[in-house]
Amino acid sequence: MVFSSLLFLFWFMPLFFAVYYITPKRAKNAVLFAGSIVFYGWGEPKYLILILVSVLFNYLAGLLINALYGRTALRRAVFSLSVAFNTGVLFFFKYINFFIININRLAGTSITQADVTLPLGISFYTFQIMSYIIDLYRERVAVERSFLRLGTYIVMFPQLIAGPIVVYSEVNEGLLGRRIIPGDAEEGLKLFVVGLASKVMIANNVGRLWNEIGEIGFSNISTALAWLGAIAFTLQIYFDFNGYSLMAVGLGRMLGFCFPRNFNYPYISGSVTEFWRRWHITLSSWFRDYLYIPLGGNRRGRLRTYVNLFIVWFVTGFWHGADWNFILWGIYFFILILLERIFLLRFLEKHGIFSHVYTMLAVIVSWVIFAVTDLKELGVYLGRMFLPRTGSDALYYLGNYGFIILLGCVLSTPAAKGLYGRVKDGLCGTVISAVLFFLCVAYLADASFNPFLYFRF
């Protein structure tokens, strides 16, 4: 489904943009809305009605919240109903079977699991919908009276299925009217190609190593190969998700929107705290603005701050997936960030080299926790990493994957920005972009290994 959506995008884009660019300004939202519906319907037809119902429900809820200004109790009731609807839909499709499975284990019951699959992009578009409703209730944005404009915001295809999470206040002016500047469109297309190449040529290739280790079996690998595999997944998830985010930002610019940056070279961080300022920036900002600060942030004393941090990181982990390893992953980051707040950050700021080594080790371990959903297998893998086991298997895989790992390490630093800045302009940049694009299309047409890691969230 994900693979077919990506291939569909290649022939869909030229036709869509040809129509979009010649359409008068007043009708561009209609073209974008219709095109986004076609795109989502191609990849997830059975849940198309769900996203349309969500748009309609929140559109009506927004009108009611606005109309009930001054009638506090009723206004709060409508707001609460909207939040309950959005979180309830997300809970049902994403978490209902997780709770059924664990209730059955604990209580010895045999409740039948729900026959549902996770709708594509539901975690992302639910957060976008809620940003509009919450900001409207807080009176930080004006009500959107046009169903078409609100629908366009929610279903806009570039960032619909995997982010970045674009809050309504960042694009509401563009929904009212936007200019398509040729230079921006060209830059957007080049960003799209860079993102596509990051995903297809780096993430896919380095990800094969992690996939092969899974086929070997975690109990059969050496400590060296366990670390090599963990590094491979660390690079895969960055180039996979950052690649898609760049594609979305590039497409957004081609449409006349300026989507927020989602990554800022997180692997150069000197602390876990800094890492989360650079990784999935829009998600971190969403949880800060719509959960951490409303809970009280750090304004109600040290103990309450720690409780708030725990809640945020528990929810962050659980948002990523309905499995215990994701909860463990969130708690793992809570512990590290708590330790940094209490004392460790001051030490790290004084010891630059150590701080970067510590951060990367912590992040690499975190991605192992993230990747392995079976807790027993997770224990085996972490055991292989930290309880030395000899073997020469790592040399074979280093020979096969050493170059792509080294390339990924270099391109995950600001050196990539400098390289892009030198070649992106002029004829040279156009030629390189065209070559990269056709290489990616050829690779996708021939490849059987093409996972999009964040599509399942």
Q: Where are the domains of the chain?
A: 2-178, 184-456
d(CA 376, CA 322): 17
Rounded to two decimals, the pTM is 0.92
pLDDT digits (tens, 9 = 90+) for 134-154: 999 999 999 999 999 999 999
Quick check: 201 and 163 in contact, CB under 8 A?
Answer: no
pLDDT higher than threshold 60 for residue 210: yes
Over residues 174-192, the mean pLDDT reads 89
Phi-psi region of 449 (alpha: psi -120 to 50; beta: other; left: phi over 0): beta
- pLDDT average, residue stretch 251-256: 93
Q: With bands split at pLDDT 50, 70 and 90, how would you rate the model's confidence at 3?
A: very low
Task: Exactly one of 280, 320, 351, 356 is catalytic; name it.
Answer: 320
pLDDT at 167: 93
Rounded to whole angstroms, how far apart are CA atoms 300 and 314? 20
CA 227 to chain centre: 25
> Among 67, 66, 6, which residue's Cα sits nearest to residue 42?
6
Find tokens 């699991």 and name the residue: 113
Q: Report the run of H or E that residue 165 belongs to, with start and end.
A: none
Does residue 280 have an active-site annotation? no
245 vs 396: CA distance, rounded Å: 33
Which distant-in-sequence residues (6+ apart) come within 8 Å of 402 by Cβ?
none
Residue 218, pLDDT > 80, answer yes
Greater model confidence, 144 or 45: 144
Q: Which residue has the higher pLDDT, 12 or 256?
A: 256
Residue 4 pLDDT > 60, yes or no? no
Summary mean pLDDT of the chain: 91
What is the pLDDT, as a whole number, of residue 149?
95
450 has a pLDDT exceeding 80:
no
**What pLDDT is stored for residue 433 in this prediction?**
86
Quick: pLDDT tens for 329-356. Answer: 999 999 999 999 999 999 999 998 999 9
- Specify whether the backbone of 296 is left (phi greater than 0), alpha (psi in -120 to 50) or beta: left
For the chain, how big is the Rg over CA atoms in Å? 23
Pick from 450, 407, 417, 374: which is nearest to 235 by CA? 407
State CA 283 to chain mean position distance. 8
Average pLDDT of span 348-368: 96
What digits encode the pLDDT tens for the residues 271-288? 999 999 999 999 999 999
Q: Specify burial of residue 54 (Cβ count, 10 A radius: 0-12, 13-18, 19+).
A: buried
Cα atoms in the Cβ-side hemisphere of radius 13 Å centred on 262: 24
- Please check the confidence at residue 449 and state whether its pLDDT lies above 80: no
Q: What is the tens place of the pLDDT at every residue in 388-433? A: 998 879 999 999 999 999 999 999 999 877 777 766 777 787 888 8
The pLDDT > 70 percentage for the chain reads 95
Element spanning 279, H or E: none
In this predicted structure, the answer to whether residue 2 has a pLDDT above a threshold of 80 is: no
Contact present, 433 and 189 (Cβ < 8 Å): yes
> Lowest-confidence range among 95-104, 326-335, 447-456?
447-456
